[in-house]
């Protein structure tokens, strides 16, 4: 199972002013245990601004942009240093990946980020993601790490998104003002009623609150990834959740991931067309197989890597739609060639397929 874990500042500081060593150790131990169980973990971690605040000796909270960016820039290194040191105790290597809104909007950057994260997971490295706060502001930002974690869950096509926070989960009412409120164990769908339960912003340390967590749950479940919002102060919370224990609130996925992906491919505007030879057309339309460059006869239109393109049979009928692994000019250079010759032709390769079967919808 591929799990995205989101840790908020309030969890990492355990309610204190500083990143909390014992808490970080507990969290890393839990991640290491889950990884040893054969699962993949991608971490989305806040805490940089708090770490910067700590390093600079707790200057008065100044809300100016420059000051916040300074704290993030100082703290991000410190945060990674803490993670790397603790991860090393468990024999885990970590990688820092800083993303921002444009990395999800721009298709090439999106695919590049995905390639990097895939490479980390393939090599057993734990990627630790945060928003690139030192350079991204306002409109250019995702803005909060709950939403970022949902985007990341989509990016890596996670099987589960776990958001650990300083609340036990989603309640029937705000438990601070309604002592009779009870925890909701399962949410089948994020409805307006669920939104109403989210109330206002919670603690003052992080950016989120229940609102951004519900937003994250909505984004991820719509793309087919279930979400668990659970308390970060429970020992081994992550391994228990991955092991199937009921902790916090679970939001069920809305359809399966592959279906969601295919819906999304069909909703995209196709920016190019490629014509296949008879063998490739048959392999695609009858068996739903991947399309290799060898089976391409013509490339029309201009498109980037990752754009949606139409796949045509030799007689010009559209038989499928899919995401191209190569941009149009590259595809033109490798069409008709064997996949082992891609690297010689282009000087690099993004893999043997022109359109991978997971990125293909038959019509
Ligand atoms: N990126 C911020 C940080 O590392 C946190 C944003 C958030 O809490 O959502 O401090």
Q: Would you tell me how many other CB atoms lie within 10 Å of the CB of residue 232?
A: 24
Strands of 318-323's sheet, edge to edge? 296-300, 272-276, 308-312, 318-323, 360-362
Q: What is the pLDDT of residue 235?
A: 85
Q: What is the pLDDT of residue 129?
A: 98
Q: Please tell me the pTM assigned to this model.
A: 0.83
Q: Which atom of ligand 1 is nearest to the CA of 146?
A: 9
143 lines ligand 1 (CB under 6 A): no
Q: How far is the CA of 234 from the centre of ligand 1 (A)?
A: 21
What string of DSSP letters covers 14-51? TTSSS--HHHHHHHHHHHHHHHHTT-EEEEEE--HHHH
Q: Which atom of ligand 1 is nearest to the CA of 205?
A: 8
Region label for 195, one of left (φ > 0), alpha (ψ between -120 and 50) or beta (otherwise): alpha
- Select from 8, 13, 49 the residue to mutate for testing ligand 1; criterion: most ligand atoms less than 8 Å from CB: 49
Q: How far is the CA of 47 from the centre of ligand 1 (A)?
A: 6
Q: How far is the CA of 121 from the centre of ligand 1 (A)?
A: 23
- Select from 152, 164, 206 the residue to mutate for testing ligand 1; criterion: most ligand atoms less than 8 Å from CB: 206
User: Rounded mean pLDDT of 302-329?
Assistant: 93
Q: What is the pLDDT of residue 199?
A: 67
57-66, 76-85, 157-166, 295-304, range with the lowest pLDDT: 57-66
User: Rounded mean pLDDT of 36-52?
Assistant: 97
Average pLDDT in the chain: 91
Is pLDDT above 50 for 204? Answer: no
pLDDT tens digit sequence for 73-91: 999 999 999 999 999 999 9
Is pLDDT above 90 for 259? Answer: no
Confidence of residue 207 (pLDDT cuts 50, 70, 90): low
* Burial zone of 360 (CB within 10 Å; 0-12 exposed, 13-18 middle, 19+ buried): buried
pLDDT tens digit sequence for 89-134: 999 999 999 999 988 888 788 888 999 999 999 999 999 999 999 8
**Tokens 């043997």, residue?**
352
Enter the tokens of residue 76: 């991000």
CB 52 within 8 A of CB 78: yes
Question: Alpha-carbon distance 353 to 137, whole Å?
Answer: 37
Q: How far is the CA of 96 from the centre of ligand 1 (A)?
A: 15
In order of start, what are the domains of the chain with their CATH numbers?
2-262 (3.40.1160.10), 270-362 (2.30.130.10)
User: Rounded mean pLDDT of 38-46?
Assistant: 98
Is pLDDT above 80 for 296? Answer: yes
154 lines ligand 1 (CB under 6 A): no
CA angle 262, 267, 271 (to 5 degrees): 105
Is pLDDT above 70 for 32? Answer: yes
Confidence of residue 203 (pLDDT cuts 50, 70, 90): very low
**Tokens 């993303």, residue?**
99
Q: What is the pLDDT of residue 42?
A: 98
- Which residue has a Cα nearest atom 5 of ligand 1? 46
Sequence-ordered list of residues with C-beta below 8 angstroms from that of 145, at least 6 positions apart, any chain: 6, 8, 44, 45, 46, 130, 131, 206, 207, 208
Q: How far is the CA of 44 from the centre of ligand 1 (A)?
A: 10
CB 319 within 8 A of CB 311: yes
48 lines ligand 1 (CB under 6 A): yes
Q: How far is the CA of 135 from the centre of ligand 1 (A)?
A: 13
**Tokens 């991000």, residue?**
76
Q: What is the pLDDT of residue 355?
A: 96
* Burial zone of 33 (CB within 10 Å; 0-12 exposed, 13-18 middle, 19+ buried): middle
User: Rounded mean pLDDT of 153-180?
Assistant: 90
Q: Which atom of ligand 1 is nearest to the CA of 212?
A: 9
Q: What is the pLDDT of residue 108?
A: 80
């Amino acid at each position: 199972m591929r799990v995205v874990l989101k840790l908020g500042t309030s969890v990492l500081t355990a309610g204190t002013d500083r990143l909390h060593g014992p808490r970080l150790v507990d969290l890393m131990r839990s991640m290491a245990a889950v990884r040893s169980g054969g699962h993949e973990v991608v971490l989305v971690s806040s805490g940089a601004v708090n770490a910067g605040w700590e390093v600079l000796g707790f200057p008065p909270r100044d809300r100016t942009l420059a000051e916040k960016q300074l704290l993030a820039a100082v703290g991000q290194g410190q945060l990674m240093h803490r993670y790397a040191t603790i991860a090393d105790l468990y024999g885990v290597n970590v990688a820092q990946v800083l993303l921002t809104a444009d990395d999800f909007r721009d298709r090439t950057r999106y695919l590049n980020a995905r390639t990097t994260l895939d490479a980390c997971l393939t090599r057993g490295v734990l990627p630790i993601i945060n928003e690139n706060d030192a350079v991204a502001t306002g409109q250019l930002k995702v803005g909060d790490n709950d939403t970022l974690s949902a985007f990341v869950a989509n990016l890596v096509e996670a099987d589960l998104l776990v958001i650990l926070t300083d609340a036990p989960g989603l309640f029937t009412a705000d438990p601070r003002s309604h002592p009779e409120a009870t925890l909701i164990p399962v949410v089948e769908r994020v409805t307006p009623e669920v939104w109403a339960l989210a109330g206002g912003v919670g603690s003052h340390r992080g950016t989120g609150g229940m609102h951004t967590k519900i937003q994250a749950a909505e984004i991820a479940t719509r793309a087919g990834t279930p979400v668990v919002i659970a308390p970060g102060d429970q020992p081994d919370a992550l391994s228990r959740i991955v092991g199937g224990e009921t902790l916090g609130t679970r939001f069920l996925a809305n359809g399966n991931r592959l279906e969601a992906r295919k819906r999304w491919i069909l909703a995209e505007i196709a920016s190019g067309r490629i014509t296949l030879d008879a063998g490739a057309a048959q392999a695609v339309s009858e068996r739903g197989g991947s399309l290799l460059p060898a089976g391409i006869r013509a490339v029309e239109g201009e498109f980037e890597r990752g754009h949606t393109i139409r796949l045509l049979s030799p007689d010009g009928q559209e038989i499928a739609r899919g995401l191209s692994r190569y941009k149009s000019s590259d595809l033109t250079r490798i069409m008709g060639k064997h996949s082992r010759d891609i690297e010689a032709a282009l000087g690099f390769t993004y893999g043997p397929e022109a359109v991978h079967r997971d990125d293909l919808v038959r019509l």
